[in-house]
Each structure stands twice: as C-alpha cells, then as structure tokens.
Structure 1
Amino acid sequence: MTLQEAMSLDQSYVAHTYGRAPFLPSHGRGATCWDCDGKQYIDFSSGIGVTSLGFADPEWVAAVSKQAGEYAHICNYYYSAPGEETAKLLCEKSGMKKVLFANSGAEANEGMIKTARKYSQEKYGPERSEIITLVNSFHGRTVTTLTATGQPAMHRFFYPFTPGFCYAEANNFEDLLAKVSGHTAGIMVEMIQGEGGVVPLEAGFVKKIAALCKERDILLLVDEVQTGNGRTGFFYSYQAFGVEPDIVSTAKGLGNGLPIGAVLFGEKTENVLKPGDHGTTFGMNPIVCAGAKVVLNRMDDAFLKEVSRKGEKLKKALEGAENVASVTGMGLMLGVLPKQGDAHEIFDRCRGKGLLVLTAKDKVRLLPPLVITDAELEQGTAILKQVLKEAAS
C-alpha cells in the first residue's frame, strides 16, 4: 500500500479523531524503522511509550506467535497459564499483592477508581467516595477517567461528567491538604505528568501525600500507565520516590504493542473486589500476556540501569544545546522545551529528517524504545539538535 492509498482510505473510512502525519511504516527492528517508500527513521516515540522492546523483538515475536498457535483466548471462568505467570512477575517486580488485567490504561484507571471507592464506602460509608487528582494530570478518555483528568480543556462537549472528583495543584501540598475532607477516598497521581508536558512531581510533595494517606486511611493511587515498565529507569516510577501505593495502574509498555492494562493491588486492597464487582472480556488475554512475560523478564536490574544510563546520556546531550530552554523527565521519558519554535513544527521537521518524536503541551516529548542502541540514540539526537537549531533561525 502506498502512503496516498492509506490516506485516501483513512479519509473515507476512519473517524477523524486524530490529526495524522503523512507517514506509513513498512517494517522495523529495534529503534529503527522504514516507511512504505524505504526511507529510514530513528524512533524516539515507541508508539507513545508502548513498544518498550522496539520493533519486531525476536523473543517477543516468537512468544506471541507460539501462543497464537496454541489458543488465542479463553473465557475468564477458566485459568490461563500466560496470565497467571504474568501476574506473578508483576507482583514480584512491583512489591504489590494481586493483579486485575484490563485492555488499556483508561480501563486500568477505572478499575483503580472503583476499588478505591468500594474500599472506602465499605469501611466508612457511601459519602466517602471522592478522588483527588492533580491539575494538569491525564488519566484517560472514558467519561470517568476524563473527569479524573485535571485539564479543563479536555472537559468540553461531554457533560454530564462523573461526580466525585476534585483537583489540587501539583507540588502544592497546602492546596492538596485543603481539598482533603471526610469524603476523600483516594488521591490519584502520576509521578511524571506525561501528557501534561513531562512534568515530574517533587519528591517532598510525594512523600507528604504518602504520609497523609497512611495517617488518614486514604488510598494512594499511582497511575503508571506511561511511566511504568522500566520507562523511567525504575520498574515503576513510584520506586524512585520511596513510597508504597495502595493501588497502581499500568498499561502501554507492558504489552510491547499489544493492548493490555493492569491494576495492581497492595495489602489494603488486594481482597476488595469480589466476583462480579469488575471484569472485562479480553482481560488476561493469553497472546497479550505471552508477550508481556517477555517484557517483564527483560526488566532486570542490569536492563533498568541501562535505561537510566541512556536517559542521562540523552538528557546531557540536549541540555545546553542550541534553542533548548529546559529538559525535564527521568530515564527515557524526557520533555524538551524549545526557546523558539512550536513543538508541533519541530515534530514535523524531525519526521522529514528521519526522526519520529512526540509532543506534550509546548514540549517535544521523547519516549524511545528502552532497547535503543547508543548508535541509534546518537543518530536521533543529532537530528533533533539540528532541527532545534533550524527552528531558532
């Protein structure tokens, strides 16, 4: 298929909920891919943090192919070895106790919200149901997770929203404390606000939230949809802050390209949900979990140290570069604020020169595959620095 053919079909048959760029991939390996015309690109996007092992990882391809040849799906009334094994790995690496599988980050966040409300309402009564989230957060596009998202610009057109949410300023503990009441069931945070512009929370702010939650039996909910599964150089980013959440949501990089979400429960919450409280037809899908096992088994200490090293290398290469005002983030999750030039224009120029990047608010967002080589990292960095330089002229 040519690019023009794909664009014509998209225009005719696909709902226009995305502003697509004129790029049609053909194939890839690692952090390098080629388009339908044979042009080569370095990938600094990994499908918005999804393809953690890059394109066509041989071990991952073999695992999902093998499972597809055995059985693709089984009803959740029964057991499934890939799912049980994936749950074990998630608990071992996170320190959490139990796992509920879903199909996306939004679904995982829905499960996290439902669990927090059930825990609090069973223990304290129906009035204790409110979830505090942070201004500038992003938690999904279902009606409830969109309500949880602390960005008013995303709250147009879809009223009425789900009640029971309020918003506190990130890194402002006094403002958050003022929002806490006898109705508060949980406080829900991203350790790095990805869609909000790659904005990390301050360590002191996070520790104060964790202490407050422990003191008042409010559940600490951590959204690791984008930051999780090695992205920040830690298995989950909350581990860098030294806190223990009550519930964690994850998705994206866990599946390396196949749709998966998961809710991880701590000691307080591991037995809150009972049969019939929550579920999903495709959760714990055997093919998806077979691939997730490969991702999780790759995430040992040596792998995570390499993610941190490559992240520092990329950050240092960009800090102080021409037309760079700041670089934020952790590991291979970085946001570059240009002094001059629009981030979306830089996005387009990078693609033209053979580099795939992302945007987040006014920043160029970088989420390379975690397996990116030093050579690919250097090649992509050189393109980005050249584009930033040109954007300043």
Structure 2
Amino acid sequence: MEVGRGGGHGPGGFIVRALGATLGVVVLSTSLLVTAGSASAQDRPGPLLAYTGVSAGRVDGLDVVDTGTGRQWRVADGLTHDASWSPDGSRIAWIAYGSGGGTDDLGRVQVAAADGSGRTQVDDAGDSRSLAWSPDGTLAWFHRSAWNPTDCSAADRLRRPDLVLRGVDGTTRTFGTVAPTADGLQFSPDGATVAWRERGDDVCAAAGTRLVVADVATGRQTVVAGAEDTTGLSFSPDSTTLAASRATADGGDVVLVDLATRTARTVVTPEAGETFPVFVGDGTDLAVVRTTPTDRTLSVVDRSGVPVRDLAEPPEFVEALVASTDRTSVLVAGRSLPSADGAVQDTQLWRQPLDGAAATALAGNGRAAVFEAAVSFRSADAPHLERRQRPRR
C-alpha cells in the first residue's frame, strides 16, 4: 500500500528493519472503532487489501482482507513481498523468496487467483525484485539472470537488472535496465508512467535514495531533482502528480512531483509535519499523518498542506497509509511503540472513512518489522472459499 510504506527492502543485500514490540493498547481510540462483523460495519464487498510482513520467529505469508465485509484469508505461506493486484481484482502477483526449495535467497514472481489457487511462476531463472501491475494488465518487475545477494565481494552486486514487462498475452519484453538497488515499482493510474526508487549502483554501499520516473511508451528515464531521500509514492488519480514525503525535525514535509516537467516541490507548513501522504477523492486533497506541537492526527489536507478535516487519532507507529480505490476511505496499518520487554506486536488494520465516520477494524494479524500492503484497483467480490471438513481422529 505504495502507497506510503513503513518498511525496508527484501532480504539479501537489501536492508530489513527489525523492530521489537508488544501487544498492548488499541492504537486507534476505541470510541472510533467499529468491529468488522458488527451491524454498523459495511456489509458489501469492497476493494481487496493484500498485506504481508516479516518478523523473526513468526509464520510469514500473504493475506487478503475484503475491506467491505472484513472477511480475510491466506493466499500464500512463506516470505513474500511487493503484492500487486490485476486491474479487475481477480488475480494477485507477488515476489516469493525461497520457493526454489527453501534454501536460496532468490525472488520469484508468482501469480495466482485472489484465493491463492492456480499459483504459477511467471519469471525466468534468476532473481526478481519488486513488481507492479499496470491498469492495462501489464505486469512489470526487476530481474537479473545471475545474483549472489549475500556476498558483497561478488561482482554480481553491481549487475544492472532488467525492467521486464509481461503483457496480457504472456509475452515479455525488456524495458531497459535499472540500478541494482531499484525498489518500489509503481504504475500511474493511466499506465503511461512507471516510477521507482534507487540507492545508487552498489547494493552494498550506503547511499541516499533518488526517485526515477519513466515514460512507458518511450522508455525515457528521469531522476527527479528535489525528490531525494523521500519515502512513499502516491499517484494522483489523473496521473499528473506524485506525492511523497521527506523526514524533517518537525515530522516531515510533503513533496509533490509534477510528472509533465519531472520537477519536485516541497510543501512546507509552519509548526506542522506531514508523513505518509496519499491522494484521496478526486486528487484535490491528500490524507496524511499530521504532527503539530500539541497533537498528532490522521487528517485530510489540500495540496498546500492546509488542513481540510481531521479524521482520527493515528496509531503510535504507522506502518502504511493506503488510499482505497473506492475513493471513500483510507486504509491504515499500525501498532503501538515497542515496549521494554521487546515482545513482537501484530500490526492492526483499519478502514477509515474520509467523511470522519468511525473506523472499522479489518484485521489484527499483520506481521511487525516490515509491512507492505496493496489494494485492488476496483471493488471485487471476495472469492468463494470451499469449507473444508476436519479429518476424523
């Protein structure tokens, strides 16, 4: 969900942020919450939210929750990253690690139905990182044929991956190369632009991030000046603007990228910091986590950072803020801050209506440490899941 993401990169040469936490307080005020199964909760199917995470000692996997009904199910077990939905919400793609027998650190592109059935690997031998599904049905990912992700003395760490595009007919083509550190691939709503981040040409070197946008028709890549060291990517509905955020002493600033000119401007608001900006509604406004000297709120602001309305108190630690594709709500993932005992806390998920109505609890089994989420392009009925009988003992 990107969504504003609170995680790092995948395993092997990529940074994984490990955070200890404890199961504790409900991190949105309990007066704001409506249980998903209650009479007040929405009872119609909504966009499907896929989420995954990493945490030591936990069972990792890819899960899906219907944001309308709250119904949830497991799609795949194991270490997964970068889930993305097909345009009609009927299929989901993700990067699975260790699927070649469970002993390697290579990523492989998996595609399955929304319920996890019919799972197929669609990339060639080698290593794939980061993927995204375009609104026209094209699936894209970064791929290199040879890669030793755990050995920083190997020349493979400098190998530039191909950006691979797989059309709806199954044919693939290479869309140029990218830096070995490329991550966070995302298409614009009109499918004309693709964006990602890079940390330079060596996965073992410490470097700041740069934002790259590319034209799908021509392949032209541009590093956007003024968008260095930003996090999160959110396209406006009209595909003209990208929103991101940059950490500052007062919390953060929104950075807006004009895609026509490939230029960025920083939205600085006095005595307030904004993080996790995502376009909502028709794209006039953004949902953000807003911090002032006196409070911290999940708010809607305009493109100048001026508050439009406050929605709720956010979690103490926000993992992700995602604009639902039905344009009526945002999806919030978060948890309370780590406690002294270092116990692992699950990430909680909520659907927060943009009109300020009560939030609805969706799930409470997201893994801590690194959290990623993706919402389907449009509302889709949850798949029919066969009821399985327990074997007799």
With normalisation by structure 2, the TM-score equals 0.26
- Relative to its length, the structure with more strand (as a share) is 2
With normalisation by structure 1, the TM-score equals 0.26
- Relative to its length, the structure with more helix (as a share) is 1
Please tell me whether Structure 1 or Structure 2 has the larger radius of gyration of its CA atoms.
1
